[in-house]
Amino acid sequence: MVAEESVRVVRCGGSELNFRRAVFSADSKYIFCVSGDFVKVHSTATEECVHILQGHRNLVTGIQLNPHNHLQLYSCSFDGTIKLWDYVDGILIKTFVVGHKLHALFTVTCAEDSVFVIINKGKQDIFQLVSVKLPKSSSQEIEAKELSCVLDYINQSPKCIAFGNEGEYVAAVRDFYLSVYFFKKKTTSRFTLSSSRNKKHAKNNFTCVACHPKEDCIATGHKDGKIRLWRNFDDDKKYTYTCLHWHHDMVMDLAFSVTGTSLLSGGRESVLVEWRDATEKNKEFLPRLGATIEHISVSPAGDLFCTSHSDNKIIVIHRNLEASAVIQGLVKDSNIFTGLMVDPRTKALVLNGKPGHLQFYSLQHDKQLYNLDIIQQEYINDYGLIQIELTKAAFGCYGNWLATVEQRQEKETELELQMKLWMYNKKTQGFVLNTKVNMPHEDHITALCFCNAEKSETPTLVTASKDGHFKVWILTDDSDIYKKAVAWTCDFVGSYHKYQATNCCFSEDGSLLAVSFEEIVTIWDSETWELKCTFCQRAGKIRHLCFGRLTCSKYLLGATENGILCCWNLLSCALEWSTKLNVRVMEPDPNSENIAAVSQSSVGSDLFVFKPSEPRPLYIQKNISREEVQWGVFVPRDVPESFTSEAYQWLNRSQFYFLTKSQSLLTFSTKSPEEKLTPTSKQLLAEESLPTTPFYFILGKHREKQDEKINKAFESELVQLPLTENIPAISELLHTPAHVLPSASLLCSKFVNSLLLSKETKR
Amino acid sequence: MAGYKPVAIQTYPVLGEKITQDTLYWNNYKTPVQIKEFGAVSKVDFSPQPPYNYAVTASSRIHIYGRYSQEPIKTFSRFKDTAYCATFRQDGRLLVAGSEDGGVQLFDITGRAPLRQFEGHTKAVHTVDFTADKYHVVSGADDYTVKLWDIPNSKEILTFREHSDYVRCGCASKLNPDLFVTGSYDHTLKMFDARTNKSVISVEHGQPVESVLLFPSGGLLVSAGGRYVKIWDILKGGQLLVSLKNHHKTVTCLYLSSSGQRLLSGSLDRKVKIYSTTSYKVVHSFDYAASILSLALAHDDETIVVGMTNGILSVKHRKSEAKKDSLPRRRRPAYRTFIKGKNYMRQRDDILINRPSKKHLELYDRDLKNFRVSKALDRVLEPTCTIKTPEITVSIIKELNRRGVLANALAGRDEKEISRVLNFLIRNLSQPRFAPVLINAAEIIIDIYLPVIGQSPVVDKKFLLLQGLVEKEIDYQRELLETLGMMDMLFATMTRKESTSVLQHASDGFLENKKVES
């Protein structure tokens, strides 16, 4: 196999969906969002991913519908190209090479053959809005070098640029001023807020801008939560603005509805606010959206909105402010305390998600399967508030049990700890809270592990804590004559000379428990809870501890803070070997004897794969990431790969995933797993790209009923029925724009008559 | 999106008796009415027919009481000696009783003089019962015999002489007119069949049998004797199903609740225990003032009547549930408005609009949902809440602290309101389960109200009280720590001694082994 040579570190899923505003298709059937190097096409009704548009070689930074053909989509990327896609079939039509790093893309209906992009010229912080002329050519790849600068010294974010009133002007905001460029007059007006000059600490920096689609009105969002509506800005002197204030924190994004009657705004409060008629009184709320609103967009048909959130989610919202669909990617905005775990049932990757939740993320489909609410309390998003944090979690007994630990510490002495044990309910296919333990320990819990041996009858859980104890919890029968129930109780409390317990680990067969107390490792018999022996290397606190597996189950591995990796032989109770390695992550492979260790050096992180029985590593990959690797996990493969080369055999049965400090999820593969992702349904194709309105439903149903009736009455006869489209009166009514139609009273009789079936046609 | 999540109220394990549906059911009785009888109450029997009068046998009299009457509505006193076991017939019109002199007398409920007198036993008759066909009477006597009598011509039909000691209890089958069971002091229970004139089943209880009971289906037999209650499976030929030993003195009487789900046993240890008849676990127990001799339940468990050795009859009536309804109630929509359209089947063209079911929120949750923090705190500081459910108050304080608004909620209170908060703190601050939350709240209060201290004597007094409480608590904790230290020392010395002695013992054993080998 040729591919074997190219095993490399690749990014795997979980890219940001909320990086840029999502875009709706003209019929609101599809929603497009950027996702790393790709553009994803989702169905708004089913949330399913229909297509992945692949082709860019760097982060996609902007997407826009082609204003002249609503079945086409423009996208731009950091790789300096603008690509035109046919999203219905997922085909790349054209590539325009611009050359500069493109930060955002805008299209305007009136500009025939040009689009607008934000590029970075020269210095770090200086961005320009330029118009790019897209040359007409039949070839696939076209150079588009004809740039003309529109606005200079603007903000990098596309939220700070808005085109207004069919492209007559463009508004840009940066820091304390709003600049408006009029294309016809080719002049720029600048507006500064009066207070920003005097008060240094007035937090009225501009954060975003939106333009009214019909009128000359610009809405700007500010850091202090105010929204200002600017009018008469074509005159430098007579301009006016009104203020709308509800948000108590920064306004993250603004959007006008298609007709311009209402303005949508969102921010940190995770509440979507709809301002009707641009007045402070008329506002509607959609609260509890879960996380900070980053972007808001509106569908061209006007029936849907969508909000992108900081927890990597897009919510599709109906016109009447009802959330209808959620497209959820890997949540990345919180600190990962729990580490990476694999749910034995779904094979999903499990880690901290939304605040107080565990997320179950499918690696195969790059999709969040579900969120498990662990803390079950109202989330108050406020700056400086100490939240309850989900710090530890572990699966046990083939996914039947889940243990979680949450904590909140305001002051040194005030620690709130809670341990929860969740049982998998087969009927509801989810975890149900079984036991809640208040203050299971007097100090932070440092580790918890289940005994996963096959033969063990009673499920057993061990928690180790900084208070110097480790506790053994077992499942007991709590049933009486009224109900059958099981609950967890503490079975044994162990300690070793008042040292802090730092790690715990069960051997593969469950007969031994290893608990590390700072520098000392203690081995306990899990039958009698007797202390069997202790190991001490005097090389710093033990940071990681794990038993060998299968043929290597007689070895115990420990990594210390001083950068020593030790391997003890449990039969001889002696040190087998030790080496100097600054281990950050140590993970055993559940399907083999292999153990992966990621070490940290000043240059980057290195990966070592070895068997405990021999100190020589099987595989070394230097510099897997420039950042610190925080967590790693082996995920068993569904279909084993067949690498023949000895170096890669450790990848045959499981795959190693790891998470870096900047929370990118990486793995080792021959090709990018995102390329392997397959959209679940390709048959979803746009037949009719017109929005389905209630009127359509009524008419369509009416037609259906007619058909049925006729089929029943004249089964044998061939009848030519005039279809509604064929009647000129109806087609005139349906296809003429409303503002040019004569009054309804004139049309009514004609229209109703045309719908009636005349007797001649029946016979 | 996800709705408002109500505040998690910390639950604490309730000490003492667990509250189950059984304890609720059996505690739902009024305080007992006590009626003094002339002697030990040996038997209580309810008439199976309305108005469910009951006959009480005590000394040489039989009193008939109405359900709610404290005075007997009728008395049968024509006994020369002690009367025993007055029992109603199934139709409630006849009553049969044995007596110390060996006679068995049959009374009409309305009459006074006995209708029939069955003479034949030579010693005291302690048990009598009507058979299922209503025309025969079974009696057991201290002359070791069991006799079957015919009511119409007052003749003895059969005599069974199989017992070898006093026959003290008996019970006729409710289904078969020919079957009855007797228990005797010879430790046996015998089931007799009138058609075969001998016992068909005999089981060994192990103790003198005091009481015997047949299940309504006739499949199970319950016997009480000594401290044991035993359940026998008749259909398996008298196999012992389960043996219960929950009393610590002789069990004297047994009774089945009207549903047949619970079995009651009364004992000389002054307790009545209630068992589930499916698991045979004790689900509840009552205490009485004296040793219990007899026990009966009215129809639908409406009344529990217990007779005791000191001649006291204790009558407990079930609390009526009609009373609650009489309270003026706000008119609510009828039930049918809630279920309207629930069973409507969806047609093909219908568009189903789901209305999310409204979640009921507590008042404090409603306030918290709307960020009315002071109001939420006021609500849980109402005396009804602070006394009955302090954990709710503490949970709300904790939640306010989590939201970072506890200081806002506590600030700006007048004398009355702040003294309410202080009262709550004084009452609960020393409870270890509430202490971490409340100490924090107390600190905040002191910080806020320090500038205005001295303006109100009421509040100042409360603050002093709180200070005294904290000092007392500190002293108490210090004492506890001292005690703990002393105990630790004691334990340490003890364990060392133990281990050394064990070691010595082991070495001794080892030496001995060596000696044996050599």
Does the pTM exceed 0.95? no
A587 φ/ψ angles, rounded to the nearest 5 degrees: -130, 125
Which of A385, A386, A481 minimises the CB distance to B281? A481
* Residue B467 host element (H or E): helix B457-517
Q: Please give the DSSP secondary-structure letter assigned to residue B11.
A: P
Contacts of A377 in chain B (CB under 8 A): 5, 7-8, 399, 402
Nearest to B37 by CA among B4, B66, B60, B3: B60
Same-domain check for residues A215 and A129: no
Q: Which residues of A touch B283 (CB under 8 A)?
A: 481
Last residue of a domain, one of A127, A154, A181: A154
The domain over range B363-473 is classified in CATH as 3.50.50:
no
**Residue A45 counted as domain residue:** yes
Same domain, A267 and A191: yes
Q: Which residue numbers in chain A have pLDDT < 50?
A: 1-5, 672-690, 716-721, 762-763
Whether A198 and A269 map to the same domain: the answer is yes
Q: Cβ B7–A378 below 8 Å, yes or no?
A: yes
Give the gap in angstroms from C-alpha B253 to the nearest C-alpha of chain A: 24
Q: What is the pLDDT of residue B322?
A: 59
CB A81 within 8 A of CB A59: no
User: DSSP label at B29?
Assistant: B
Chain A hits for B279, Cβ within 8 Å:
481
* Nearest chain A residue (CA) to B433: A438
Is A222 in the same domain as A282? yes
Domain shared by A196 and A148, yes or no: no
Strands A38-43 and A49-53: antiparallel
Q: Can you give the pLDDT at residue A365? A: 77
Q: Please check whether residues A163 and A311 belong to one and the same domain.
A: yes
A286 and A302 inside one domain:
yes
Residue A437 within any structural domain of the chain = no
Asked whether residue A110 falls in the same domain as residue A221, the answer is no
Q: Does residue A269 lie in a domain region?
A: yes
DSSP one-letter string for B62-98: EEEE-SS-SS-SEEE---SS-EEEEEE-TTSSEEEEE
Q: Are residues A133 and A251 in the same domain?
A: no
CB-based contact B511:B503 (threshold 8 Å): no
All residue ranges of chain B with pLDDT < 70 are 1-2, 322-329, 496-518
Would you say residue A368 lies in a domain? no
Write out chain B residues lying below 8 Å of A701, CB-based. Answer: 349
Indicate the CATH number of B21-317 among 3.40.1180.10, 3.30.710.10, 2.130.10.10, 3.50.50.60.
2.130.10.10
Sorted by where each begins, the domain ranges of chain B are 21-317, 363-473
Q: Which residues, in sequence order, are CB contacts of B463 under 8 Å at separation 6+?
A: B422, B446, B453
- Say yes or no: do domains B21-317 and B363-473 share a fold: no
Closest CA to A290 of A242, A359, A340, A341: A359
Structural domain containing residue A277 = 156-328
Angle between helices B435-449 and B390-402 (to 10 degrees): 60
The answer to whether the Cβ–Cβ distance between A701 and B20 falls below 8 Å is no
Q: Are A661 and A598 in contact (CB under 8 A)?
A: no
Chain A contacts of B20, Cβ < 8 Å? 480, 482
pLDDT of residue A403: 94
CB contacts < 8 A (A, B): 51
Number of folded domains that form chain A: 2
Q: A105: domain CATH number?
A: 2.130.10.10
* Subunit contact B402:A408, Cβ cutoff 8 A: yes
DSSP SS3 for A246: coil
> B278: nearest CA in chain A?
A481
Strand residue runs (E) in A496-613: 501-506, 512-517, 520-525, 531-536, 542-547, 555-560, 564-569, 574-580, 583-588, 595-600, 605-611
- Say if A414 is an interface residue toward chain B (CB within 8 Å): yes
Amino acid at A355: P
pLDDT at A684: 41
Measured CA to CA, the distance from residue B195 to residue B230 in angstroms comes to 27
Q: Do A288 and B21 touch (CB under 8 A)?
A: no
- What pLDDT was estimated at residue A446? 93
CA distance A299 to chain B (A): 20
Residue A732 lies in a domain: no
Instruction: Verify that A164 and A94 share a domain, yes or no.
Output: no
Residue A419 lies inside a defined structural domain of this protein: no
pLDDT at A697: 62
Q: Is A384 on the interface with B (CB under 8 A)?
A: yes
- Least Cα separation, residue A454 to chain B (angstroms): 33
Give the model's pLDDT for residue A740.
75
Segment 323-362 of chain A within 8 Å of chain B by CB: 323
Name the residue facing B403 among A380, A410, A701 (closest C-beta): A380
C-alpha span between B405 and B307 (Å, rounded) = 62
Chain A residues in contact with B6 by the CB 8 A cut-off are 378
Residue A121 lies in a domain: yes
* A252 and A113 in a common domain: no
Token reading at A128: 């320009």
CB contact under 8 A, B21 and A482: yes
Q: In what order do the strands lie in the sheet with B198-204?
A: B167-172, B179-184, B188-193, B198-204
Q: Is A482 on the interface with B (CB under 8 A)?
A: yes
Measure in Å the smallest separation between the Cα of B1 and chain A Cα atoms: 6
Asked if B1 and A376 come within 8 Å (Cβ–Cβ), the reply is: no
Pairing, β B239-244 against β B228-233: antiparallel
A742 in contact with B, Cβ within 8 Å: no
Query: Of A303, A328, A353, which residue sits at a domain end?
Result: A328
Omega before residue B51 within 30° of 0, cis = yes
Residue A194 in any domain: the answer is: yes
> What is the predicted ipTM?
0.73
